[in-house]
Protein backbone atom coordinates (compact mmCIF):
# COMPACT_ATOMS: atom_id res chain seq x y z
CA UNK A 1 0.00 0.00 0.00
CA UNK A 2 1.19 3.48 -0.56
CA UNK A 3 1.26 4.38 -4.23
CA UNK A 4 4.09 6.87 -3.78
CA UNK A 5 7.43 7.26 -5.54
CA UNK A 6 8.67 9.17 -2.50
CA UNK A 7 7.80 6.21 -0.29
CA UNK A 8 9.52 3.81 -2.72
CA UNK A 9 12.70 5.86 -3.16
CA UNK A 10 14.79 3.62 -0.91
CA UNK A 11 13.85 0.55 -2.96
CA UNK A 12 14.48 2.40 -6.22
CA UNK A 13 18.01 3.32 -5.12
CA UNK A 14 18.73 -0.26 -4.07
CA UNK A 15 17.37 -1.59 -7.37
CA UNK A 16 19.48 0.78 -9.44
CA UNK A 17 22.70 0.85 -7.45
CA UNK A 18 22.87 -2.80 -6.37
CA UNK A 19 20.96 -4.55 -9.13
CA UNK A 20 21.77 -2.25 -12.04
CA UNK A 21 18.26 -1.47 -13.25
CA UNK A 22 18.07 1.44 -15.67
CA UNK A 23 14.34 1.97 -16.12
CA UNK A 24 11.48 2.89 -13.80
CA UNK A 25 7.93 2.04 -14.80
CA UNK A 26 5.63 3.78 -12.36
CA UNK A 27 2.11 2.31 -12.28
CA UNK A 28 -0.89 3.44 -10.26
CA UNK A 29 -4.33 1.84 -10.56
CA UNK A 30 -7.93 2.91 -10.76
CA UNK A 31 -9.93 2.39 -7.60
CA UNK A 32 -6.85 2.97 -5.45
CA UNK A 33 -7.64 3.43 -1.79
CA UNK A 34 -5.20 6.34 -1.62
CA UNK A 35 -7.82 8.36 -3.54
CA UNK A 36 -10.40 7.93 -0.80
CA UNK A 37 -9.01 9.89 2.15
CA UNK A 38 -6.83 12.76 3.33
CA UNK A 39 -4.10 12.86 5.96
CA UNK A 40 -6.57 14.25 8.50
CA UNK A 41 -8.85 11.25 7.95
CA UNK A 42 -6.01 8.78 8.54
CA UNK A 43 -4.82 10.61 11.64
CA UNK A 44 -8.41 10.64 12.92
CA UNK A 45 -8.74 6.88 12.48
CA UNK A 46 -5.44 6.29 14.25
CA UNK A 47 -6.54 8.51 17.14
CA UNK A 48 -9.90 6.76 17.38
CA UNK A 49 -8.53 3.23 17.17
CA UNK A 50 -5.06 3.48 18.69
CA UNK A 51 -5.15 6.61 20.82
CA UNK A 52 -3.40 9.94 21.11
CA UNK A 53 0.01 8.39 21.82
CA UNK A 54 -0.04 6.69 18.43
CA UNK A 55 -0.87 10.00 16.72
CA UNK A 56 1.95 11.72 18.60
CA UNK A 57 4.38 9.06 17.36
CA UNK A 58 3.24 9.61 13.78
CA UNK A 59 3.65 13.38 14.19
CA UNK A 60 7.11 13.01 15.74
CA UNK A 61 8.15 10.92 12.74
CA UNK A 62 6.58 13.36 10.25
CA UNK A 63 4.41 10.63 8.76
CA UNK A 64 2.52 11.75 5.67
CA UNK A 65 0.06 9.17 4.36
CA UNK A 66 0.64 10.55 0.84
CA UNK A 67 -2.97 10.31 -0.27
CA UNK A 68 -3.92 12.00 -3.54
CA UNK A 69 -7.09 13.34 -5.14
CA UNK A 70 -6.42 12.75 -8.85
CA UNK A 71 -4.83 9.63 -10.31
CA UNK A 72 -3.27 11.12 -13.46
CA UNK A 73 -1.92 14.12 -11.57
CA UNK A 74 -0.39 11.79 -8.97
CA UNK A 75 1.33 9.79 -11.72
CA UNK A 76 2.70 12.97 -13.32
CA UNK A 77 3.91 14.34 -9.97
CA UNK A 78 5.64 11.08 -9.06
CA UNK A 79 7.42 10.94 -12.43
CA UNK A 80 8.50 14.58 -12.04
CA UNK A 81 9.74 13.82 -8.51
CA UNK A 82 11.86 10.91 -9.76
CA UNK A 83 13.25 12.87 -12.70
CA UNK A 84 14.25 15.71 -10.37
CA UNK A 85 15.76 13.41 -7.75
CA UNK A 86 19.54 13.51 -7.37
CA UNK A 87 19.59 9.81 -6.46
CA UNK A 88 18.07 8.77 -9.80
CA UNK A 89 20.66 9.12 -12.59
CA UNK A 90 19.65 11.31 -15.55
CA UNK A 91 20.01 8.43 -18.02
CA UNK A 92 17.35 6.33 -16.26
CA UNK A 93 14.20 5.97 -18.35
CA UNK A 94 11.09 6.87 -16.35
CA UNK A 95 7.50 6.45 -17.49
CA UNK A 96 4.17 6.73 -15.71
CA UNK A 97 1.13 4.57 -16.32
CA UNK A 98 -2.39 3.90 -15.06
CA UNK A 99 -3.66 0.34 -14.80
CA UNK A 100 -7.41 0.27 -15.32
CA UNK A 101 -8.65 -2.45 -12.98
CA UNK A 102 -12.05 -2.51 -14.68
CA UNK A 103 -10.69 -3.34 -18.15
CA UNK A 104 -7.29 -4.87 -17.41
CA UNK A 105 -5.64 -2.32 -19.69
CA UNK A 106 -2.80 0.07 -19.03
CA UNK A 107 -2.44 3.54 -20.46
CA UNK A 108 0.58 5.76 -20.52
CA UNK A 109 0.20 9.08 -18.72
CA UNK A 110 3.75 10.37 -19.05
Q: Which residues are annotated as a binding site for Zn(2+)?
A: 29, 32
- C-alpha 30/C-alpha 106 separation (Å) is 10
Q: How many CB atoms lie within 10 A of CB 67?
A: 19
User: Binding site: what residues are annotated?
Assistant: 29, 32
Alpha-carbon distance values, 93 to 18, 80, 81, 83, 87 (Å):
17, 12, 13, 9, 14
- C-alpha 44/C-alpha 72 separation (Å) is 27
Q: How many CB atoms lie within 10 A of CB 95?
A: 14
Amino acid sequence: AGASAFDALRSIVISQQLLGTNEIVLVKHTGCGMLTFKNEDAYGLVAERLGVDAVEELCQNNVDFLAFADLETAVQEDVEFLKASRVVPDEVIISGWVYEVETGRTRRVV
